[in-house]
Structure 1
Amino acid sequence: MQFGSIFIETLFGFVTLFILAKLLGKTQIKQLTAFDFISALILGELVGNALYDKEVGIPEIGFAVALWGVLLFITEITTQKIKKSRSLLEGSPSIVIHKGKLQRDIMRKGKLDMNQLLHLLRAKDVFSVQEVDYAILETDGTLSVVKKTNYQPLSRQDLDLPLQEILLPAMIINDGEIIKDNLEEIGKDNDWLVEELRKQDVNSIKDVFYAEYDKKNGLYIQQQNK
């Protein structure tokens, strides 16, 4: 009976948290602000503690999650309607490098030391502070970087070259199954796909682990176990 109760309450907690996350439109983990992170922890605690409390059942779990969801929803509406509340509840970006100069006061305020800053810069393919003109510490802990002009890569515009169309590859086969929507998107059908597979000595779609198509390179295929 106890295991059955835990199973039902766990399932109920999972479903309610999933619905709540969908309704609130939560971002990915790496994009969470400090407030979102704390909210996720508290939601987990509300459900987790309730599961092993014999005096707490589904109605209590549902009420706790619903109440916390309402509070989060009110917070979201508040930050959208009242601009001054955004910096308090969501935080605000901080310029940690300004015109090539480290802003020690801003770094100290954001609890950011040089080792952490260099780590964030390396994640942006920047291996020296001397390459940076501006660096902004975002509210989710990521770093946005603008390199100095002489460290920025050349663009087609810089070289006065004509613009080219961006070709986005489309996944056509995934683990032996055709992605029909993508096949229709590129204006092809099953007969075309079978013919292209034969050209590459593939006799069955089931033999294909992954296949993608783009206009420039055509159909790329990787077979199963190869």
Structure 2
Amino acid sequence: MQAYFSMFYETLFGFFSLFILAKVLGKTQISQLTAFDFISALILGELVGNALFDDEAGVAEIAFVVALWGILLYITEIITQKFKRTRHLLEGNPEIVIYQGKLIRDTMKKNNLDINQLQNMLRSKDTFSIREVEYALLETDGTVSVLKKPAFQIPNKKDMNVSQPEVHLSITLINDGEIIYDNLKEHNLSEEWLLEEVKKQGYEKTEDIFYAEYMKGKDLLVLPFINREHIKFKE
């Protein structure tokens, strides 16, 4: 009986410890599960499980395991926030699998993604034919984001007999105050042009900008750093 009682309160302690840890680490650990997050969750569950069924492990040992692993995950999160170059290693980057209606074979091969898997992922986005897709990106959490061709967008422009404008993919030029030079170069844009566009919208330096997005034929989208306390929510 004593053994069951011991397992009972150790299980409760482990449950609430993991709950608190999930709250501290934030919602992204659940809603955007990357490969690194998935491995972390498996290891954490294994550590807690072993501690629960180890006769020599008690509440103190479970607390130590949960706290240590939580600290390691928190430090990793801080590193990815402070040092943006580490995000590619730990979180990965979205990759284009369909570009202007064409499949990018080497991207699919690199990610071990076959046609059947891709079609299944597209169907989850209410897209039942690859011919409907202009762009598709494989996200870091393993899902696919889809931008349909104008003729298949809702409402259906083909049925309404309206003109079908050319589709362009948005490009990130500034992220967390840093210029993405590779994207500038890829789209034949200069840093001078970017700084001029930023100044037109009232910003003197890129360090003041949280995100800037370029899309051909449209004005540069510039979003400054804003915290929740700066936003007035409607009652």
Please, what TM-score do these two structures have when normalized by structure 1? 0.67
- Residue 24 (structure 1) aligns with: 25
In structure 1, C-alpha distance between the alignment counterparts of 2:30 and 2:122, rounded to whole Å: 20
- Residue 104 (structure 1) aligns with: 105
Alignment check: 8 A CA contact 2:29 2:37 kept:
no
Find out whether 1:126 has 2:137 as its counterpart.
Answer: no
Deviation by residue 1:138-179 (Cα, 9 ceiling, x = unmatched):
0111110011121112389x98xxxxxxxxxxxxxxxxxxxx
In structure 1, C-alpha distance between the alignment counterparts of 2:90 and 2:97, rounded to whole Å: 21
**Superposition pairs for residues 145-184 of structure 1, below 5 Å?**
145-154=146-155
- Residue 139 (structure 1) aligns with: 140
- Residue 113 (structure 1) aligns with: 114
**Superposition pairs for residues 1-226 of structure 1, below 5 Å?**
1-27=2-28, 29=30, 31-154=32-155
Task: Report the Cα offset of residue 26 of structure 1.
Answer: 3.4
Q: 1:87 to 1:139 in 2, by over 3 A?
A: same
SS in 2 for 1:96: strand
- Residue 210 (structure 1) aligns with: none
Task: Report the Cα offset of residue 30 of structure 1.
Answer: 5.4
Unmatched 5+ residue regions in structure 1?
Answer: 160-186, 188-226
In structure 1, C-alpha distance between the alignment counterparts of 2:22 and 2:57, rounded to whole Å: 23
In structure 1, C-alpha distance between the alignment counterparts of 2:43 and 2:14, rounded to whole Å: 13
Deviation by residue 1:97-146 (Cα, 9 ceiling, x = unmatched):
01111001000111110000000111111111111110001011111001
Task: Report the Cα offset of residue 45 of structure 1.
Answer: 0.8
In structure 2, C-alpha distance between the alignment counterparts of 1:115 and 1:40, rounded to whole Å: 28
SS in 2 for 1:119: helix
SS in 2 for 1:144: strand
In structure 1, C-alpha distance between the alignment counterparts of 2:152 and 2:6, rounded to whole Å: 61
Alignment check: 8 A CA contact 2:79 2:86 kept:
yes
In structure 2, C-alpha distance between the alignment counterparts of 1:26 and 1:16, rounded to whole Å: 16
Task: Report the Cα offset of residue 38 of structure 1.
Answer: 1.1
Q: 1:28 to 1:88 in 2, by over 3 A?
A: closer
Q: Could you tell me which amino acid in structure 2 is paired with residue 96 of structure 1?
A: V
In structure 2, C-alpha distance between the alignment counterparts of 1:102 and 1:27, rounded to whole Å: 30
Unmatched 5+ residue regions in structure 2?
Answer: 163-234
Task: Report the Cα offset of residue 7 of structure 1.
Answer: 0.6
Rg larger for? 1
RMSD over aligned Cα atoms = 2.0
The percent identity for this pair of structures is 65
Deviation by residue 1:72-120 (Cα, 9 ceiling, x = unmatched):
0000000101111001101110100011110010001111100000001
In structure 1, C-alpha distance between the alignment counterparts of 2:24 and 2:100, rounded to whole Å: 41
SS in 2 for 1:140: coil
Please, what TM-score do these two structures have when normalized by structure 2? 0.64
Off by >4 Å, runs of 4+ in structure 1: none
Higher relative contact order (CA 8 A, sep 6+): 1
Deviation by residue 1:22-81 (Cα, 9 ceiling, x = unmatched):
011133745311111111111111111111111111111101110000000000000101
